[in-house]
Amino acid sequence: MLPDEQLLMKLSCDKIFSLMIQSIKYTFWVMLIAGLGFIAIALTPDAEQTDAAMFKKIFNEALTNGKSYSNLDYLTNKIGGRLSGSINALKAVEWAFKAMKEAGADSVYLQECMVPHWVRGEKETAKIIFDGGKSAKIVPICALGGSVATPAEGITASIIEVKSFEELAQLGKDKIKGKIVFFNSPMDPKYLETFEAYGGAVKFRWAGASEAVKYGAVGVVVRSCTLAQDDYPHTGVMGYKDSLNKIPACAISTNGAILLSESLAANKNPEFYFKMSCQTLPDEISYNVVGEIYGTTQSNEYVIVGGHLDSWDTGAGAHDDGAGVVQSMEVLRIFKALGIKPKCNIRAVAFMNEENGGRGGEKYAEWAKINKEKHIAAIESDAGGFTPRGFNSEVTPIQKEKLKSWKPLFEPYGIHNFDRNGSGADLKHLQEMGVPCLELMPDSQRYFDYHHAATDVFQNVNKRELELGGAAMAALVWMIATHGL
Amino acid sequence: MLPDEQLLMKLSCDKIFSLMIQSIKYTFWVMLIAGLGFIAIALTPDAEQTDAAMFKKIFNEALTNGKSYSNLDYLTNKIGGRLSGSINALKAVEWAFKAMKEAGADSVYLQECMVPHWVRGEKETAKIIFDGGKSAKIVPICALGGSVATPAEGITASIIEVKSFEELAQLGKDKIKGKIVFFNSPMDPKYLETFEAYGGAVKFRWAGASEAVKYGAVGVVVRSCTLAQDDYPHTGVMGYKDSLNKIPACAISTNGAILLSESLAANKNPEFYFKMSCQTLPDEISYNVVGEIYGTTQSNEYVIVGGHLDSWDTGAGAHDDGAGVVQSMEVLRIFKALGIKPKCNIRAVAFMNEENGGRGGEKYAEWAKINKEKHIAAIESDAGGFTPRGFNSEVTPIQKEKLKSWKPLFEPYGIHNFDRNGSGADLKHLQEMGVPCLELMPDSQRYFDYHHAATDVFQNVNKRELELGGAAMAALVWMIATHGL
């Protein structure tokens, strides 16, 4: 053997030895990974099969034995609209207590809270007056929630149209003083999600009066927040700034807004007349209704689902938010019907006073803090009883990824969107306490056709769409209660 | 230098040379790939941006200037139900011709075809008779399309309920002869897609009479194909076997079916009475209406969109299939409004006679063959004017993959499902000729509430949902016309 060959041999031996060592190392890692993979493979499909099988059971139960539709029938048709502080709201509390029991809750209780008590009074009237009173056209309006009344004889004044607060400011006191301001900013139909369009338009309803009064306006008329073109005015909460005068504020139907705008554009110099007798009475006692299924571990941990029990008085609060309430109860019913025994406690919460105060949501969070409850997650349904499409969430990025990893389980049920941020209004205080908060996201195309209007009634809710939403919430509660978040 | 070193040197040189050659080769490939990659990168986002920008334009146009809703208003409220062979069907042809022109078609023409002419006659009546006639309950029925009439005095007979053809066969002549057979097999609510549930129930409507007559039945009553529980009977086509006697066949509302079933279960031995004066008249002349935008290349290549112009007479054919017709016209309008100049020709086809014969679809395919037209793709909308969720297709696996690769463009518009197979009934003959066929798949939850019933009217169609479906079709036509399929 030549020296170089020896060298080569030596090198080769070293190499082979090194390769052997490497090979052993590799083998170790490969076996470890394979082993882990095997364990993962052995576990994952089983877990997935269990989850998929449970999803099937949950959706079948909702679609064949569902009680959400008959519950909604009762709430909307036997009780009807139920604004905070009203007799109807108390009737709804009483009904919800019983319905939670019937859904199978192990325990049902009330959480007392003080709520605003605004009443609409007599049906509002309004007209566009032409030629100094020679002719007039009646237009449908309704008082915005929280508005003061007009004087008993109504208000008659010149009316001026604006499309934005900037335009209002430019017109200034010279042009505004003594007039009624007509905010005519339609919801933008180009948004695919109608809630985004709502977000752009609702500021005039909320702040129109307090902005207009700065320039001496005597009243405001706000185009209804809806994408439908029809004769229904849509109410909703408005607010005053304490430092400013309070002027009456109403919503006008979209057809009315179009007529009014055309009358102004045609230089007919119409006047506007409206009369409202609404008023704010002292706060009333009311309640959240909480139904609970006890977890097997007797822990202080909770997954909650909820909707709000109060509604506007113009309609029957079917989509907003009777749907969310009956879907939340349905989650309890489905769990009981299928004999699911979750480790943590599951709560359905019918929040009071989402529409004009949010006192119920505040009270719930207060009690959660006092009782040192750990909320694993809170889910609200308050976007209507339409076909569910996904869940919005306000969670950590890791939790978001976990949610998204469950998408394949939801997709066979048409639920495909877990990307968006957002959660329910009643969960605001829980969210501030760091609770992962979510909301059911149904198809949004029809929501604002009915929202806060006389058309928000039972017959505009489809049974299956409502049931699917409840099932979607039950499936998500199952996942969170079983796998954490 | 030692000889071995020389050798090594030689080896090294060879190696280096070989490496250099390899390196050059690699460099060539790397540069080629990088170059191609660069071109791809340079092109792809641009193409995608162009497509995404065009999608935005298309959806904005549909949601802000859309004409599908007002067109549907005219078709359903000014014309109404339009069964093949009726005066209304001819009025609809006349209207569609004008509407295609107004949508901006470069050319509009009719395709003549002979269609069946079945007429309902007087409004049908039916009752469940108890105690040999001492009491009775009226139940809502309607004749199934194609049924023969009852004798002028109606039919009164014992009635027997079956859930399946197997049960019917087991009962046999002994139990069936001289009786009315009541097919009471509800659509299964557990299917997420209601069309699947329909598929399981519609056979009794189609073949119930010809199966029951084998055992001597004198008439059939079929539970309406709907998931709604209400008082509306749902018609639809039925067929006879030429070799068998023809017995009258009607649909009963679901509430009626439940009452009838309960009466039978309670051993009240009710009889059933029904009276219908429907009849089949000689075939009539009718037409497909075809509107066309000329492609820039003056080729014989086509992408077509369509719906069917005829409808059942019980309602106004709003979802079935006024929606598909006005959405197809809207595709032309959007292309014209946006100044899109497709390379190939784009056609909107309003097919005649989908409901009870399919003669229009057959005629269209016949002309396509005679004129040696190359159809790149054919898309139908015939599943209602609800929020679009995806496209079903009957295409090659490669075409399916291409369709799926477009999903990211559609997802911002809530259109997420390209997996399912299927296409429109009017496209059957094109499909047999090898044309890639697709259909718009909207949310299906509400469809069978209205399908073939008096409730299939304009006010049950949501403007935005209808518009989004038309935009979805326009977007798909854009993709196919621009990138092929």
Structural domain contains residue A34 = no
Residue-wise pLDDT tens digits, A142-173:
999 999 999 999 999 999 999 999 999 999 99
Q: What 3-state class would DSSP assign to A19?
A: helix
Q: What is the CATH number of the domain that holds B271?
A: 3.50.30.30
Among B2, B445, B464, whose Cβ lies nearest the Cβ of A445? B464
Decide if B371 touches A, using CB distance below 8 A: no
| Residue B32 lies inside a defined structural domain of this protein | no
- The set of residues, in sequence order, having a beta carbon less than 8 Å from that of B420 and lying 6+ positions away, is B390, B392, B393, B441
A422 and A374 in a single domain? The answer is: yes
Q: How many domains does chain B have?
A: 2
**Model-level pTM?**
0.90
A 397-426 → B contacts, CB under 8 A: 412-414, 416
**B144 and B236 in contact (C-beta within 8 Å)?**
yes
Task: Kindly write down the DSSP assignment for every residue of A251-285, as one continuous string.
Answer: EE-HHHHHHHHHHHHTT---EEEEE---EEEEEEE
> Cα–Cα distance between A196 and A191 in angstroms, integer?
6
Lowest mean pLDDT among A78-82, A166-170, B11-15, B103-107: B11-15
pLDDT at A211: 98
Same domain, A247 and A336: no
pLDDT of residue A7: 45
Residue B43 lies in a domain: no
User: Taking 90 as the threshold, does the pLDDT of residue B182 lie above it?
Assistant: yes
Are A320 and A450 part of one and the same domain? yes
Whether residue A445 and residue B59 make contact (CB cut-off 8 A), yes or no, is no
Q: What number is the average pLDDT over the span B126-130? A: 97
Which percentage of chain B shows pLDDT scores above 70? 91
Tell whether A12 is covered by a domain: no
Residues whose CB is less than 8 angstroms from the CB of residue A239 and which lie 6 or more positions away in sequence, other chains included: A146, A206, A207, A210
Q: Could you tell me which chain A residue has the CA closest to the CA of B59?
A: A190
Pair B271, B299 in one domain: no
Distant-in-sequence, close-in-space partners of B246: CB < 8 Å, separation ≥ 6: B148, B209, B213, B240
Residue A96 resides in a domain: yes
Residues B279-304, mean pLDDT to the nearest whole number: 97
Over residues A397-420, mean pLDDT: 98
The answer to whether residues B233 and B322 belong to one domain is no
CB contact under 8 A, A59 and B190: yes
In 3-state terms chain B splits into helix, strand, coil percentages (rounded to 5) of 45, 20, 30
Full residue range of the structural domain in which residue A257 is found: 125-277
Are residues A90 and A191 part of one domain?
A: no
Whether residue A443 and residue B443 make contact (CB cut-off 8 A), yes or no, is yes
Residues A266 and A145 in one domain: yes
What residues have CB less than 8 Å from A116, skipping those under 6 apart? A84, A85, A146, A280, A283, A353, A356, A357, A359
Residues A428 and A473 in one domain: yes
What mean pLDDT is reported for chain A?
A: 93
Q: Is the model's pLDDT at A37 over the cut of 70?
A: no
Of A4, A59, A465, the CB nearest to B445: A465
Token pair 């992962």 is found at A436
pLDDT digits (tens, 9 = 90+) for B312-346: 999 999 999 999 999 999 999 999 999 999 999 99
A2 touches chain B (CB under 8 A): yes
On whether both A370 and A463 belong to a single domain, the answer is yes
Q: Do residue A416 and residue A322 come from a single domain?
A: yes
Contact A63 B190 (CB under 8 A): yes
CB contact under 8 A, A446 and B468: no
Residues B448-475 pLDDT 10s? 999 999 999 999 999 999 999 999 999 9
> Which of B277, B309, B335 is where one domain is finished?
B277
Is A355 tagged catalytic? no
Q: Residue range B46-58: average pLDDT?
A: 89
What CA–CA distance (Å, rounded) separates A57 from B352? 43
Q: Which residue is catalytic, options A161, A354, A394, A439? A: A354
pLDDT bucket at A30, cuts 50 / 70 / 90: low
**A387 contacts in B (CB within 8 Å)?**
387, 443, 445
- What is residue B44's predicted lDDT score, i.e. its pLDDT? 56
Please provide the average confidence, as pLDDT, over all residues in chain B. 93
- Whether A245 is covered by a domain: the verdict is yes
Q: Which of B316, B337, B318, B336 is nearest to B326 (CA)?
A: B318
For the ranges A340-344, B46-50, B76-80, B330-334, the lowest mean pLDDT is seen at B46-50
Contact B307, B290 (CB under 8 A): no
Boundary-marking domain end, from A235, A250, A277: A277
State residue B404's pLDDT score: 98
Average pLDDT over residues A296-308: 96
Domain boundary at A277, A311, A344, which? A277
> Do A295 and A173 belong together in one domain?
no
Which residues pair with residue A348 across a beta bridge? A291, A305
CATH code, domain with B372? 3.40.630.10
A contact test, residue of B463, B465, B467 with most A CBs within 10 A: B463
pLDDT of residue A47: 73
Cβ contacts of B468 on chain A, cutoff 8 Å: 192, 445
Q: Which residue of A has its CA nearest to B420?
A: A412
Say whether both A290 and A423 belong to one domain.
yes
- Is there a domain that residue A16 lies in? no
Establish if B368 belongs to a structural domain.
Answer: yes
